[in-house]
Structure 1
Amino acid sequence: MTVDIALRRRAILTGLRPFLDDDALLSAVALWAREYANQPPFALSGFVAKCCARAEHLAQRGQMLRAIIAAMELPPSQLLPDPGSQGEILAAVAEQARLNDQTQMFSLLLSALIGLSDASMQSMIRSRLLQQLTKQKLEREPHQVMQDWLAGHVVSLTKNYDLKLLQALVNQAYIVMCEVLGPVKADQLLANAIRQVDIQGAHLSFRVHDLL
Structure 2
Amino acid sequence: MGWTMTLDNDQRSIVQRILAKYLDGQALDQAVELWRYQYSKKPLQELNYFVFEIANSSELRSSRKQIVHDLQHGLELDVQQNLNHEPIPQSSPQKTLATVSSNNTQPHHDGIIKTADQIAINELFQQLLQSLKGQSELIVVLQEHLQGSQITPQYQHAFIHYVQTGEGLVEQFYLKDVLRQVINTLYTVMCDYFGPMKSDRYMAQAVAQIDQQYPAVMIKQYL
TM-score of the aligned structures, taking structure 2 as reference length: 0.46
Decide which structure has greater helix share.
1
TM-score of the aligned structures, taking structure 1 as reference length: 0.48
* Structure exhibiting the larger radius of gyration computed from Cα positions: 2
